[in-house]
Amino acid sequence: MALIRDSKIDKPPEKLRLDKWLWAARFYKTRANAKQAIESGKVYCDGHRTKPSKAIERGMELKLRKKSDVKIIIVKALSDKRRGAVDAQLLYEETPESIANREHFAELRKAQPKHWSTFSKPNKKQRRMIHRFKQRDSV
């Protein structure tokens, strides 16, 4: 019985659920978050929308969208155990085009102003100024 158990530990799985792999590769903190991202269409597997139970293999291409970042990665290894960040980075390889695109968009974000002016109600000082301005025009 011990020999069977040891052979299962040493041998990595050949296929693995997509949500479990995304969690193990540290793209999402929980499997529930990974499942939600997959179901909401933020994860594409070989160019198609997919389901959390999709069995992935080595060599598959995944497209992940998180906020404004889009990563295109190739699955290099499978693991159903969540380990450290260094080990998790060995599970995948990001394509050079994806890296270049992310760097380009990061530069564009840095060039834009940090705070967008949003419409909000005037505060007390601004209301007084508006009131004075209207009083001056009406006289």
pTM listed for this prediction: 0.72
Which pLDDT tens digit goes with each residue over 2-44? 444 444 555 778 899 999 999 999 999 999 999 999 999 999 9
CA 84 to CA 86: how far, in whole Å?
6
- pLDDT per residue as tens digits for the range 76-103: 999 989 999 999 999 999 999 999 999 9
List the structure tokens of 137. Answer: 């025009």
Q: What is the pLDDT of residue 4?
A: 43
Residue 68 has pLDDT above 60, yes or no: yes
Q: How far apart are CA 12 and CA 15, in angstroms?
A: 9
**pLDDT band per the 50, 70, 90 thresholds, residue 116:** low
Phi first, then psi, for residue 67 (nearest 5°) are: 55, -115
Higher pLDDT residue, 71 or 109? 71
Q: Do residues 41 and 64 touch, judged by C-beta distance below 8 A?
A: no
Dist. CA 17–CA 27, nearest whole Å:
14
Q: How many CB atoms lie within 10 A of CB 121?
A: 6
Which of helix, strand or coil describes residue 108? helix
User: All domains of the chain, ordered by start, with CATH?
Assistant: 12-102 (3.10.290.10)
Give dist(CA 23, CA 79) in Å, integer: 10
Q: Which has more confidence, 118 or 100? A: 100
Average pLDDT score over residue span 117-128: 87
What's the CA gap between 34 and 27, in Å, rounded? 8
